[in-house]
Amino acid sequence: MNAQYVWIDGVAFSPKHPKVLALAKCEQLVEVAAVNMPKPKPAKRIRQDSKPTMNKLEQAWFEKIKQDLFTAKVYVQAMKFKLCNGVTYCPDFVVVQHAGHMICYETKGFMRDDAAIKIKMAAKEFPNFTWILAWKESNEWKTQTIFP
């Protein structure tokens, strides 16, 4: 687009616009400026969130399972499961044992309805994984295996 524009009060007008023609007749407009379009917005940055990936409860559970399962590989929020109609579920931890069996852990300070439904749906849709819910009660860890 090589058209010329006239800038009036920060707004670009075509040279044939009635407002531009009226100003030109009144000799208030001396010359038609070349296009000085506003600078394009910079490209969106790749998400580089400075927030930690784990909260305090998740960090405490991570330390516990690292001690208990010191030979297994623990991944933090590494898998996302598609459940249905765009609903996804991402467990807090996925532990891969040497035999290849995977255990998905979810830590909760308190359980909301949608979180309970998602973990139950994930257990039903992916029965090859072991699904474990963990929470802290009176400074002691409690766990519950979620069955399909």
- Domains identified in the chain and CATH numbers: 1-38 (no CATH), 56-146 (3.90.320.10)
Q: Please, are residues 3 and 35 in contact by the beta-carbon 8 Å criterion?
A: yes
Tens digit of each residue's pLDDT, the chain (148 residues): 445 776 776 677 777 777 777 766 655 444 444 445 566 677 676 666 666 778 899 999 999 998 887 777 889 988 999 998 889 999 999 999 888 889 999 999 888 998 899 999 999 999 999 999 999 999 899 999 999 8
Q: What is the DSSP string of 59-100?
A: HHHHHHHHHHTTTSEEEES---EEEETTEEE--SEEEE-TTS
The pTM score is 0.64
Calpha distance 127→104 (Å, rounded): 11
